[in-house]
Structure 1
Amino acid sequence: MNPGVSLLCFFLCLSTIVCDRVYVHPFHLFSYNKSSCEKLDNLTQEEKMFVPISIESQTIPAYEENLKDKTKLGTQSSDTKRDQRLSYLKDLVHVLGMRFYGALKETLKGENILLSPTNLYRSLLSFYLGASEQTAADLQNFLGFVPPSGDPDCTSKVDGHKVLLTLKTMDDLLLSSGADDPLFTKLSCLFSAPSVRLSESLVHSLAPSADYFYARAVDFTNPSQAAELIESFVKGKDVSRTQNVLTNIDPSTTLLFVTYIQFKANVKKASQLKELQEFWTDSSTKILVPMLSVTGTFQYKRDDSKNFSVIKVPVSENTLLVLVQPVNSNDLNQIESELSLHPSSTWLQNLSPRHIKLSLPELTIQSAYDLQELLTNMNLSALLGKKANLTKISDANLTVGKVQYMPAILRNTFTHVFYLLEENEGSLPLEVTLNKPFLLAVYEKNSKAMVLIGRVTNPLNSF
């Protein structure tokens, strides 16, 4: 064959191979495809509605029984696509979570903070699923899904069910290692005013994303009584609850969404120190707190240019507790100010194994936030305000009284189950003591998704 023809054939084959590698924008991992758009166009516009039973009723409603048959969100189409979605979504979750962390930092100056970026994202996504028209577009953008083109067609919209499924995958990965997993439970409740009808399909969409999901009717015209009924209802469920936190409910409310999570981390192979230890809440104030101590091989780094150290503590096969402490007389302000500038997994990078004796406070942190209040502080009050179009939630003219978001409880305890890496008996351990304000985060090991982030300024202040 003529050498020139052979060379031409080679380049033609090469160009064919190259052309097969079509770039797919990450947005399209979650957007509707054309076939889905056609199905949506053919769907009837009438949503099937139901009226929730009263919160005071002792019976189990039929619609709740039906939810038991719809406890699965579905499965990802492939491991590759699942991993791509997880990689993209965890960064969107982190960015949104850090925006709210910044707002809380300004509001709760010097106080403990605990929030769950994943649960916060899930709460807003729940309203996206129930939103229409401009409200849906605004929520989509706020959640970080900006379409690559400006065409307002179906494929420029995000399929919220795909996003919900990916968030559920994060949870499943976190809890997939059996009985020794930390306690991590979620409860969500949708409370509507009497006679307000809710979308059956929306409730069926939201139910699988929580371990416990309830829809009940509440009379909000007596706010204090409504708050007592809600607190009593929630405390009667399987998730441990704390003091009453529902306050300032607007009597004109027709919808209230409450979500709780509880996370309990067991620091393996740890023991409780017999004596109370010093903890410096600031440079001039110290308190005495109960502390845990554990010696083992941990992943660790000290960054003197950024003035902080990081230690990674495995609390289950797939769950990581990451502790970040200022060094070189630094405080938390610089570290916190840079949270939004880096990917969620930054603290997990460039760690190396060290033989360490770690001492840290025994903690129970509880928190409760009203998302609407936080949105107002971020100059975004209209996002879920009275003019929000939430016609996919109900055919009534809804007034969202609160979106009460409670990352609620983080407990770290000690146990004598041996889990950590083997100790290096031949060397003296590096002593790391968390005896001044520090940050903590909980990650899912495989996806590197940040499930919780918190600031501990006083271990004795649980709420």
Structure 2
Amino acid sequence: MKYLLCLCLLLDVLCAVTHCHQGNICHEVNNTKLPDGTENLLTLKCDEQGSNYADFAFRFYKQAISKEADKNVFFSPMSISTAFAMLAVGAKTTTLSQIFEGLGFNTLTETHIHNIHESFRKVLAVLNCTDVNTTLNIGNALFTATGYELQEAFLQNTKEFYNAEFMSSNFHNPEEAINQINEYVEEKTEGKIPELIAHLDPSTVLVLVNYIYFKAAWEKSFDPLRTHKDEFFVNTNAPVRVDMMQRDSTYDSYYDEDLSCEVVELPYQGTARALLILPDDGKMKQVEDALSQETICKWDNRLETRRLNLQLPKISISGSYDVKNLLMEMGITEVFSSNADLSGVSGSGNLQVSQAIHKALLEVDEAGTEAAGATAVILTRVLHPPVTVKFNRPFLLLLYDKATRIILLMGKIVDPTKK
């Protein structure tokens, strides 16, 4: 019987919460260069051509919306790419080149392949640094069939570059193995994703898991007392009632006249940033078609501080994806077939990926305020009335790390009331 390699991907994100773990501030956020002094291959580069890793996120997004054009979309390109890059440690020949080319890496010399893994190692180390008021944990785990031996080089490299944990599983008892993996995931995501895997084939020999847990407070929190019921227009004829948050403040923002959309950057405490993109009525497809590294760089360069009356709905949405089908349509096919060369995993040529699962969760609320009573009389200079930016129709969301310039997650909010 052909053995099956089950690959599972995981993302859990909890944005804008009141209490966050305290910890040491990481002082190495700018130290993402590789040992040879070259730039990290994962970072979004606005000053040069040819680095298209960041566009993997947008290619995957466009593939996802082609299946669900009118539904919420939410996923982590960092989670998906990390899991497949870790799998690539054991891939060879065209299987290896397909994985990396699908993730946006070309010119696969031995040195370049090493630099790709080193880039992931460096970024994962930096992102896992604990910042004040922010918890961002990213990790990897490999569950191996009892008695199934992995290649020593595969074990060493997945540990060195991806800091992977290794655990033994009894896949001959699928229910027991499913419970073991789901309990591990539930613990790592603070109970937010209690069930990642629903079924496993008894011939499974290896399950790879990547998880991301993000918890942070807005730099400028919303006052819960100003949150009010309002209408969100899923389309012009279908409004739904939402809890609309509101805050008058200065924000870095930009109106893109070419694409007809408003772009607003909301910083979290720490180095994480949310980029919200609100297309004008009827312009969503135009903005989606233009999503690229170049477009993000243009927006980033043109953000300017403006006083806004920002109105944003509270959000609680989730996403679940069959990554296998989406990546096959993006050209990563061999790893899912009987022609897969994963001989670097166990020395055997009879492995293939049978499943690739990705689950994501996003929660956004007023964030980080504590109730208190006080009276103050404050004199301020007169300011011009703020411009109102009201997110009351479908919009896009990107969450990225400002220090590493890595897109951690992205999605489209079509209906904030749909879980």
> Which TM-score applies when normalising by structure 2?
0.78
Would you say the 8 A contact 1:271–1:415 is kept in 2? no
Given the alignment of the two structures, is residue 258 of structure 1 paired with residue 209 of structure 2, yes or no? yes
Counterpart in 1 of 2:60?
Answer: 100
C-alpha distance in 1 between matches for 2:327 and 2:363: 24
Deviations 1:111-133 (A, max 9, x none): 11112222222122112111123
Q: Distance in 2 between matches of 1:408 and 1:161?
A: 32
**1:229 to partner: Cα distance:** 3.5
Q: Deviations over 1:405-443 (max 9, x none)?
A: 3444454541238xxxxx985221111111111001112
CA distance in 2 between partners of 1:214 and 1:369 (Å)? 24
Alignment of 1:44-193 (within 5 A): 76=33, 81-82=38-39, 86=43, 91-147=51-107, 156-171=109-124, 178-181=131-134, 183-193=135-145
CA, structure 1 residues 162+351, in 2 after alignment: closer, same or farther (shift >3 Å)? same
Residue 239 of structure 1 deviates from its aligned partner by 4.1
Q: Deviations over 1:208-253 (max 9, x none)?
A: 6668x43233344555554333212322446433242423544433
Match of 2:325 among 373, 380, 383: 373
Give the root-mean-square deviation of aligned CA atoms. Answer: 3.2
- Aligned partners of 1:186 and 1:210 also within 8 Å: no
- Hey, what does 2:306 align to over in structure 1? 354
Partner residue of 1:304? Answer: 257
Distance 2:358 2:53 in 1: 16
For residues 116 and 347 of structure 1, do their structure 2 counterparts lie closer, same or farther at Cα, with a shift above 3 Å needed? farther
Distance 2:140 2:285 in 1: 33
Q: Alignment length, in residue pairs?
A: 374
CA contact (8 A) 2:82 2:210 kept: no
The offset of 1:395, in angstroms, is 2.7
For residues 241 and 81 of structure 2, the distance between their equivalents in structure 1, rounded to whole angstroms, comes to 36
Structure 1 position 438 matched with structure 2 position 398: no
Structure with the larger RCO, 1 or 2 (CA within 8 Å, 6+ apart): 2
CA displacement 1:170-212 (0-9 Å, x = unmatched): 455556683123x32223222233322123443443346668x
Change (3 A) 1:413 1:242: farther
| Counterpart contact for 2:34–2:115, Cα < 8 Å | no
Q: Are the counterparts in 2 of residues 258 and 405 from structure 1 also a CA contact under 8 Å?
A: no
Code of the aligned partner of 1:435: N
Whole-angstrom distance in 1 between the partners of 2:326 and 2:365: 27
- Fraction of identical pairs, as percent: 22
Does residue 450 of the first structure (1) align with residue 407 of the second (2)? yes
Q: Does the CA-based 8 Å contact 2:132-2:269 persist in structure 1?
A: no
Counterpart code for 1:92: N
2:369 alignment partner AA: H
Distance 1:321 1:195 in 2: 45
Higher-Rg structure is 1
SS in 2 for 1:459: coil
> Could you say which residue in structure 2 is the equivalent of 1:286?
239
Residue 269 of structure 1 corresponds to which residue in structure 2?
Answer: 221
Q: 3-state SS of the aligned residue for 1:124?
A: helix
Partners of 1:198 and 1:368 in 2: how far apart?
30
Structure 1 counterpart of 2:355, which letter? K
Find out whether 1:242 has 2:193 as its counterpart: yes
Aligned to 1:326: 279
Once residues 228 and 98 of structure 2 are traced to their aligned partners in structure 1, the CA distance between those partners, rounded to angstroms, is 53
Kept after mapping to 1: 8 A contact 2:74/2:319 = yes
Structure 1 position 135, deviation (Å): 1.8
CA separation in 2, counterparts of 1:461 and 1:286?
A: 13
CA distance, structure 2, for counterparts of residue 398 and residue 133 of structure 1: 14
**CA distance in structure 2 between the aligned counterparts of 1:172 and 1:344, rounded to whole angstroms:** 25
Residues 259 and 406 in structure 1, CA contact (< 8 A), matched pair in contact too? no
3-state SS of the aligned residue for 2:399? strand
Corresponding residue for residue 266 of structure 2: 313
Instruction: Summarize the Cα distance change of 1:443–1:364 in structure 2 as closer, same or farther, 3 Å threshold.
Output: same
Cross-structure match for 2:7: none
Q: Using the TM superposition, give the Cα deviation of residue 82 of structure 1 relative to its aligned residue in structure 2, in angstroms.
A: 3.8
* Counterpart residue identity of residue 453, structure 1: M
Q: Please say if residues 93 and 121 of structure 1, whose CA atoms lie closer than 8 Å, have aligned partners that are also in contact.
A: no
1 CA distance for matches of 2:32 and 2:236? Answer: 52
Which piece of structure 1 moves more, 403-412 or 132-141?
A: 403-412
Check whether the contact 1:93–1:117 (CA below 8 A) recurs between aligned residues: no
Aligned to 1:228: 179
Is this contact kept in 2: 1:357–1:432, CA < 8 A? yes
Determine the C-alpha separation between the residues in 2 that align with 1:122 and 1:458: 29
Aligned counterparts of 2:32 and 2:285: Cα–Cα separation in 1: 42
Extract unaligned runs of 5+ from structure 1. 1-73, 148-154, 418-422
| Superimposed CA distance per residue, residues 89-130 of structure 1 (whole angstroms, 9 cap, x where no aligned partner) | 994332222221111111222111112222222122112111
SS of residue paired to 1:388: coil
Q: Secondary structure at the match of 2:265?
A: strand
Task: Tell me the secondary structure at the aligned position of residue 71 of structure 2.
Answer: coil
Q: Which has the higher helix share?
A: 1
Contact 1:128–1:160 at 8 Å: present in 2 too?
no
Q: Sort the Cα spacing of 1:424 and 1:130 in 2 relative to 1 into closer, same or farther, 3 A.
A: farther
Asked whether the equivalents of residues 186 and 260 of structure 1 are also in contact (C-alpha less than 8 Å), the reply is yes
Distance 1:192 1:252 in 2: 12
Distance 2:252 2:126 in 1: 21
- Name the structure 2 match of 1:61: none
2:355 paired with 1:402: yes
Contact 2:336 2:354 in 1 (8 A): no
Contact kept in structure 1, 2:396 and 2:410, CA below 8 Å: yes
